[in-house]
Amino acid sequence: MPVPFPRPPRLRIPLRALVAAVLAGAFCAQAVAALRPHVPLLITATALSLAVEGVLYRWQRGMLSVFAKSHMDITVRHVVRDLLLVVGLLLLGGQDRESAYAPLVAGLLAFYALHCMIQAVSVLVRRTRTLPVVTRNIDASALRLSPAPPVLLRRPGHRLLAYGLPATAGLLATVATADRRWAALGIALSLGLAVLGLCDLLLRLLPSRRPASEQQALDWLDRWLAEYRPTVGLYFSGGTSSAYQANMWLEPIAELEGRPLIVLRERFMVHKLAATDVPIICLPKVSTLMRLEQSTLQVLIHPSNSGKTSQVLRIPTIKHTFVNHGESDKLSSCNPYAKAYDEVWVAGPAARERYALAEVGVEDKDVVEIGRPQLDAVRPYAGPPTGMYTTVLYAPTWEGWDGNPGNTSVIEAGENLVRALLADPGVRLLYKPHPLTGSVDPRAGAADLRIRELVRAANRERSGVRPADDGELARITAELDRLTTSVARSGADQLERMGVQSAPEEGHAEAVARAAQAWDEAYWAALPEWEHQVVTDARPALYSCFNRADLLISDVSSVISDFLASEKPYAVANTSGLSEDGFRKAFPTVRAATVLTPDASGVAELLAAVRDPGKDELAEARAELKRYLLGPAEPTSQERFNMAVQALCSAAQQHRERMAERLATEIPVPRREDVPAPQ
């Protein structure tokens, strides 16, 4: 499987500087050629500047904001470019040049005026298409959802380049031939395109073509909530790279009793979430969010903390519980913010003790052990490897926000560990870095790239039989994509996607589950058993890698706790600076692990213990630690999760009833009109 190799960051700055220098040079050359005037140079410089504009919008979009901040956005650049052409034409013309070119200049000014009008109307259309609620898996056709305007009408830069190109080309042709008809034709074409675009947008503002108003959308939301009658919801707010924190809870939420719901706060997150049939509503505004208070929603489950979490905690009719998106020994697993929730749900006794020792204000009575419902898909240990290769999964975590060197092994130990593993001819390595690796510390990102190159180099030195490509993986991939991806146009906006991502068909969730399982089997079957892999895509998932691995090497993170569900051997890299004894005492998840030093000493002995159960001295410790971290095997985690939800829903309902009784007794009786008021 080819491994993507992103362009190193150090190459981006010189490339951007080169593009900016070429564009600046083209404008300077155009100015000189217009003032002299010099026809060949004027044509060449103008064509070059247009070509650079195309490069900017195709490959260097990040530079567009830099130019905009410097007050040199596309409108300014385009006006300057056409103005220099007009100046060149005036200097090249005869004595009647002013009067001869006046209509052309007037037409050019009219085009730019239309461009500004299109932009203003485009903003109005966008506002009418921005509803206070975004949905997915819900039939929202009552909101009069309609296709989005063409992309050119919504993006001023692209529109100006496309619509203004005929005018600029016509001016260039007139410069080359001295025939004013070319300029007139080009400007007329640009004017015609602008008029058509403006008419298209104006028609969308007609009452019969507009989507529902804000109040109509809110009324629809209230009606839908009253009809669906949700009981439990997953609440999530986060950045663009944090969707995985919610995705891991989608399946457990879908299997709950009652009527589940997913509540989001960021519009972009609606399409970041993985495939699910659970109804999704996104409520960006606090005022809209507060409408949940009048709904039947009783419990909200929070897999992460965010700045917007405090807003939903203000709803008194809903009980809130924190489940986190992973179980680990890190201090972030005992965030003091957790005391703001009604309950904190953890996997097992270890997390309960962790909160007690952290003394962050979470009382023991509010801690509920539910296990990890996601881990039902992790297969149990079935013995040592039986094939030619021992599959080792190296899944380090990221560097974190606090700069602790013990957070990730990638920087200090990653390359040493990978070299030691690749040196064993009987090892097949699966390298799965954390999605946020390198997002804080550039050293982690650089080490990650070097590790990937080590894997590539090792694969180049290996050879063997590759499975025949019978097209099964491609067929199943297409089927899975069809089931999990909405068929929306590339230029569709959120309103149009709401219509496409309507209520799922009956049995859709079961079909997705079958296709996902079939894809997983086909994916691994299509790979040579001798080939190392770098796994960075959404598929295969981490738990799928668990099931293929004979050994895990990781850091102190939730990956260890989850892998323990299999009771397979695992190792932890110690880059904390602590002694091995101190490391084991500080982090309970390491108790049943082989501790590896940054120089990777001990890898050979670790592999020997994996291959020979007689040398595995930690099997019983892993079984005991599993119960300590994840709780008992029976009842299942999903069953315990459901029981916790039902208990908290009952508590929420009882709270509502008590509040209703209290309000009924505290409201004063209206004064009768026939009783005179006291003097």
In a domain, 290, yes or no: yes
Kindly state the DSSP code that residue 326 receives in the 8-state scheme.
-
Average pLDDT over residues 522-527: 94
CATH code of the domain containing 426:
3.40.50
Q: To which H or E segment does residue 81 belong?
A: helix 74-92
Q: Of 340, 375, 410, which closes a domain? A: 375
Nearest to 629, CA basis, from 327, 399, 180: 327
Residues 61 and 126 in one domain: yes
Query: Of 17-21, 93-97, 272-276, 294-298, which one has max mean pLDDT?
Result: 294-298
Three-class DSSP labels, 93-147: CCCCHHHHHHHHHHHHHHHHHHHHHHHHHHHHHHHHCCCCCEEECCCCHHHCCCC
Q: Of 588, 615, 630, which closes a domain? A: 630
Q: Which of 188-202, 333-347, 538-552 has the lowest mean pLDDT?
A: 333-347
In a domain, 468, yes or no: no
Sheet architecture: strand order including 427-431? 533-534, 427-431, 390-395, 551-554, 570-573, 594-596
Quick one: pLDDT band at residue 332, thresholds 50, 70, 90?
low
The pLDDT value given to residue 291: 95
Residues 394 and 371 in one domain: no
CA angle 142, 148, 150 (to 5 degrees): 165
Average pLDDT over residues 117-135: 96
The number of folded domains in the chain is 3
Is residue 256 within 8 A of residue 265, CB to CB? The reply is: no
Name, in order, each residue with C-beta under 8 angstroms of 573's C-beta and a sequence gap of 6 or more.
396, 409, 413, 417, 553, 554, 555, 596, 597, 598
Residues 257 and 326 in one domain: yes
Query: Of 18-32, 211-225, 505-519, which one has max mean pLDDT?
Result: 211-225
Q: How many whole angstroms separate alpha carbon 316 and alpha carbon 312?
A: 9
Average pLDDT of the chain is 90
Residues 193 and 233 in one domain: no
Whose tokens are 């879908």? That residue is 254
Nearest to 507, CA basis, from 483, 526, 530: 483
Residue 675 has pLDDT above 80, yes or no: no
In a domain, 336, yes or no: yes
In a domain, 385, yes or no: no
Residue 5 has pLDDT above 80, yes or no: no
Residues 263 and 120 in one domain: no
Residues 162 and 266 in one domain: no
Residues 547 and 487 in one domain: yes
In a domain, 644, yes or no: no
% of the chain with per-residue pLDDT over 90: 68
Is residue 504 within 8 A of residue 137, CB to CB? The reply is: yes
Query: Of 15-24, 89-98, 126-135, which one has max mean pLDDT?
Result: 126-135
Give first-to-last CA distance, the chain, whole Å.
91
The pLDDT value given to residue 216: 96
Quick one: pLDDT band at residue 360, thresholds 50, 70, 90?
confident
The pLDDT value given to residue 671: 58
Residue 337 has pLDDT above 80, yes or no: yes
Residues 556 and 514 in one domain: yes
Quick one: pLDDT band at residue 677, thresholds 50, 70, 90?
low
Average pLDDT over residues 475-494: 86
pLDDT in tens, 292-313: 999 999 999 999 988 899 999 9
Residues 56 and 201 in one domain: yes
Residue 105 has pLDDT above 70, yes or no: yes
The pLDDT value given to residue 357: 84
pLDDT in tens, 616-637: 999 999 999 999 999 998 899 9
In a domain, 583, yes or no: yes
Residues 451 and 588 in one domain: yes
Residue 368 has pLDDT above 70, yes or no: yes
In a domain, 609, yes or no: yes
Q: Determine the residue type at 671.
A: R
The pLDDT value given to residue 11: 46
pLDDT: which is higher, 260 or 14: 260
Q: Global pTM? A: 0.81
Domain that holds residue 314: 229-375
Nearest to 429, CA basis, from 467, 463, 395, 378: 395
Residue 4 has pLDDT above 50, yes or no: no
Residues 236 and 173 in one domain: no
Residue 13 has pLDDT above 60, yes or no: no
Residues 82 and 178 in one domain: yes
Residue 15 has pLDDT above 80, yes or no: no
CATH code of the domain containing 371:
3.40.50.2000
Q: How many residues does the chain have?
A: 679
pLDDT in tens, 43-73: 999 999 999 988 888 888 778 888 888 888 8
Quick one: pLDDT band at residue 7, thresholds 50, 70, 90?
very low
In a domain, 182, yes or no: yes
The pLDDT value given to residue 674: 54
Q: Which is it for strands 280-282 and 134-136: parallel, antiparallel or unpaired?
A: antiparallel
Kindly provide the b/e burial profile for residues 490-520, where b requires at least 16 CB atoms within 10 angstroms of the residue's own CB.
eebbbbbbbbebbebeeebbebbeebbebbb
Q: Of 630, 650, 667, which closes a domain? A: 630
DSSP, collapsed to helix, strand or coil, labels residue 482 as helix
Residue 6 has pLDDT above 50, yes or no: no
